[in-house]
Structure 1
Amino acid sequence: MNARDLDFLPPLQAEAARSVQTLVLGAGIVGLACALRLQSAGLQVTVLDRSGVAAGASRGNAGALAYSDVLPLASPGILRQAPRWLLDPLGPLSLRPSYAPAMLPWLWKFWRASTHKQVALSARSQAALLALSAAEWPALLALAGAEKQLRKGGNLHLYESEAQWRAAAPGWAQRMALGVGYELLQGADAIADLQPGVDKQFQYGCFVPHWHTVDDPLRLSHALAQAFIARGGVLARAHALRLHPDARGLLVELEQGPPLLAQRLLVCAGAWSHQLAETLGERYPLETERGYNTTLPPGAFNLRRQLTFPNHGFVVTPIAGGVRVGGAVEFAGLQAPPNFARADALLAKAKRFLPELRTEGGTQWMGCRPSMPDSLPVIGPAPADARVFYAFGHGHLGLTQAAATAKLAADWALERKPGLADLAAFRPGRFL
């Protein structure tokens, strides 16, 4: 099956068996990682998606394996900056006024998750999950035959002034306490040694070597899908509407055709996962962080590694021979049309910060990151039915955490001791 076939999956055949052993709903990076890992453990696995492989946030993200990104978005620091950012409709954080009433319950939980005590707990839990993912990704890449897609150039966080660095320093101290190493760079010349072409207004940098990228997240998703199919996995298009617990298993009502019966089921549907959970009587505060980017063609800039501009909310990443400029957060729900003026604003800033960047010929994209108020994913059996496993809400770290989530899903399916000693911070019932 070639890339085009994966983008437009064939529909689930009406004559196909209507009973499956293990069903994964969602063919994003998390769903594919779980499917391949379960399959490699000897289980028969079927994956369904409403459209195609990596059709959502997995298609156009920044391609980072951000193992050192342990600090949650929900923090006292973000609360201090948010009012200033929200005043700028094209800034790093935006809330469409028409969507504000729908956001209030999520924002309340976000505020409650931003206490120092909760942030410390979230950071410890995040660090443990990311360490597990760092240990698991090499084996997953090997299963997909995608080892050569890994790039180990590290990440460079850039700050314009000593004041900006001092404001960021406590966060770096927290990272260091959790085992994240970094090298502090001072002065434009030190920065230029790692990345030539950065504007001299940037005087401080933090280089994080334990931060990798992949050549192209879409290409990696395709590699996982092709490996899964080559080993006998079923990957098809079908829109799951509702889950019905049954004595025989889980009945999955589909938009077209008769229902499917699964003995065990994984919900990995990204920003749409909470809609399936609601059919089991469980309501999760899952929101959509809409991110924007522009991918520039090869030759746009000699980018050696991923660059992060934390005070501006975006990154610049080498992707498939070109350069991807993207990030920021827009809260506007799943239905609002994209506002690509946000992508234009990010690209204009990138041009100011990297004066030699060629900005013509780019392709714009918008994706919906599934986000929980405490910045931690939902991983574990559904309280309503232990035959359902939730794996959603990874926010900015879906690619990074996919391998760890797949390991935990396999542990659940095979009734093994979990790969993490403490899963309480990720348990589905924490918000119910």
Structure 2
Amino acid sequence: MAFDSLTEKLQNIFRQLRSKGRLTEEDVKEALKEIKRALLAADVNFKVVKEFIGNVQQRAVGQDVMNGLNPGQMVVKIVNEELTSLMGSETTEIALQPGKAMTVIMMAGLQGAGKTTTTAKLAGKFKQKGKKPLLVACDVYRPAAISQLKINGEKQQVEVFSMEDSRKPAEIAREAVAYAEKNGHNLVILDTAGRLHIDEEMMEELQQIKKAVTVHQTILVIDAMTGQDAVNAAKEFHEKAGIDGVIITKLDGDTRGGAALSVKAVTGKPIFYVGMGEKLSDLEQFYPERMASRILGMGDVLSLIEKAEAQIDEDKAKEMSRKLKKAQFDFEDYLESVKQMKNMGGIGNIMNMLPMGGLGKMKGLSEDQTSQAERSMARMEAMIYSMTVQERRDPDLLNPSRKHRIAKGAGVDISEVNRMIKQFGEMKKMMKMMGKGGRRGGFRLPF
């Protein structure tokens, strides 16, 4: 997950600081050297790191910190505040035109950054907020670009405007805006062509589109996996074409996170969203203070709650709670709970948002351990899907012959089926005891 390596290093540094009680100026400087190394290893821009360390040091060696009751904790607080400031301090929304006026957004970026997919996700986000978006295929060079935008637009149930004959992107943009005005669209999102690298032709094309239509927001899509190359591209795009903000994709696959920590300081432009996966819900609003909290291992409980509210059906959750209390849940209920967890990004994503204490200690699981847990869950799902609906609702029906059929259908050994059914039965017993007050027949709850 994003920032895992950096988080682990910072946690170790802070643990050493907090263990010392009183701090000397030398202690703080030594810790800052380690933080500097950790940030550079995370592929954060060198100039950004230098300025960041200077700001932290200036604040951290002051009398209030050194003579405070908990100087180690104060240093952590300062690092948190400076990280937040580095990424923009406040959350910045994409500026839309007021009232019913139409907003035109132009999406730009290099090939492979995930621009077309992100463009469709963004349209889906605004549709949820009550807008009527129109996606526009302005990439006339990449053969699959138009069909890709149409497929992604269909997923979000957003109309796509395209012109199959060989028109220039600026002309397509002009026709699309006219079409949008006639058909009641109040948001037009232009998916422009990418290149393998920045060239004059690309920049000229973006300028031509801006001359043809009024573009209210130009948003650059960059790939977190490319680290400082992405930041350098952002700087060049801004200098040559002018951008209003950035969306960073594939942050879930980048364990370093240098692009997210550098781009605001280098370009002066905010990060609007970050891509944390393939689904629409995985395009997350960027909150600098929450991201800083995640980086420092303090978790991001607010984002987790918001994700849960958006993804979990409240009525289903209440019914599940009632069944759990009465130990009436069955295998179909289990499948529903797994589905809800997947909608929230799976085990790894949920644990990544929890603080390092309590359940968040599971953040210490390696990528292999997380993958193993998810594979075990997938095998359990396969076994349940191999059952009939009646068997899922009434596990008492599962006699030996049925178990053998389920094992064969799921491609697992019969022992795995027996183990799963036994664990499920024990869980129901425990829930029943909890529902009766927590202790019966010598049983004590494990908390």
Give the TM bin, normalised by the shorter chain.
under 0.3
Higher share of residues assigned helix: 2
Which protein shows a greater Rg? 2
* TM-score (norm: length of structure 2): 0.22
Query: Does 1 or 2 have the higher relative contact order (CA < 8 Å, sep 6+)?
Result: 1
* TM-score (norm: length of structure 1): 0.23
